[in-house]
Amino acid sequence: MLSPIQVLCSDITTLSLEPEPFASYTEADIISTVEFNHTGELLATGDKGGRVVIFQREPESKSEPFSQGEYNVYSTFQSHEPEFDYLKSLEIEEKINKIRWLPQQNAAHFLLSTNDKTIKLWKVSERDKRPEGYNLKDEEGRIKDITTVTSLQVPVLKPMDLMVEVSPRRVFANAHTYHVNSISVNSDYETYMSADDLRINLWHLDITDRSFNIVDIKPANMEDLTEVITAAEFHPHHCNLFVYSSSKGTLRLCDMREAALCDKHSKLFEEPEDPSARSFFSEIISSVSDVKFSHSGRYLLTRDYLTAKVWDLNMESKPLETYQVHDYLRSKLCSLYENDCIFDKFECAWNGSDSVIMTGAYNNFFRMFDRNTKRDVTLEASRESSKPRAVLKPRRVCAAGGKRRKDDISVDSLDFTKKILHTAWHPTENIIAIAATNNLYIFQDKLNSEMH
């Protein structure tokens, strides 16, 4: 059997959502988060304009076998609006920072979305019947004069065109002084946490007017501040465990059974710095931009500016594996600092079996690493690759002054305005979602999509 990375190299195909050629877009159209639900049947994206778009996977059709797996727009709604904090004279962006699905308990779906300050719980449900024959209402829904009602009838449900309804169920506000960067639903399905630069709060999904502060790293004097929280996530199976990452490149595993305030971590994952490799940019590029538990719960995947690392929960001293995402940029750090690209926050993702990891890069490139074979591949999300059932070809970037082969791309010709910051992997199949500016690309390994 071919390894996942081999198949993904040679036979990843585009499913749908081909972008319009030369389509213009505004800042509000830029995708800011991507998330599959727990079954992979739904895919949600959030953008800088505060909108959430949900895509649904098409069921398999005997007449059109090739259409199976395509995602089409299911629902679109405005999640957040721009606000203004009059006390601090601060504008609050409508940009969606994170979306997290709740496991499905009934016919409806629920998801959490957040901007910098406010988290909202949304219910997504379908309606294909409507009640008719009200006794006290007319056909347009107006209340009848009760004196005109001379007979009673039994209301009936009549079929209607399928309608997807999205309604806000909870608004969790006024709990964060700083910008929310993470939300994570606990495995008890009753609580979730939200993290900002200095604090992490624990919420109950049914209670909106209070939360419990479980991490607070704010110093008494802000001049003593040396690090900020960059990401946080609950363990997939143990509801008492969570991890959070910092701008210093450290990971802290916390156990809520030990104390109400988890300022003292259970484990600290930190890689010793090589003094000979230290530079002006060392602290900036070591900041962890994303952390994800593996599906098994045994490993942690982190992403900093240049590398992706896999950590074993039983080994704190150093990462189990380190993957160079775009090492050819080391010579470009000065210019990347000047244009602020060095502060870009790349996300990372596991495949369903925890054997392959994925993360983004520049020039609309994204990288995959096979943990078993140690193979890696660079692929491009582009208009050419977005044609239905187009096969993605591996790309290669050569360092400045290096030997170039045909089709190689020089590091000097990379477009740093095109960046893949947000990616997601289907929970069980080889289907990936890539957000490239205002375009969403969905790719499938058609030969081996059920290898997990």
pLDDT in tens, 55-71: 999 876 655 555 556 88
Positive or negative, the Cα torsion across 331, 334, 339, 344?
Answer: positive
pLDDT of residue 359: 97
What confidence tens digit (pLDDT) does each residue in 181-223 have? 999 999 999 999 999 999 999 999 999 999 999 999 999 999 9
Domains in the chain, ordered, with CATH?
Answer: 7-445 (2.130.10.10)
pLDDT of residue 386: 64
**Among the ranges given (59-68, 340-349, 365-374, 396-405), the one the predictor scored with the smallest mean pLDDT:** 59-68
What is the rounded CA–CA span in Å between residue 171 and residue 384?
42
pLDDT of residue 290: 96
Contact between residue 170 and residue 121 where contact means Cβ atoms under 8 Å apart: yes
Radius of gyration in angstroms for the set of CA atoms belonging to the chain, rounded to a whole number: 24
What is the rounded CA–CA span in Å between residue 94 and residue 97?
9
| Mean pLDDT for the stretch of residues 96-108 | 93
Positive or negative, the Cα torsion across 194, 427, 436, 8?
Answer: positive
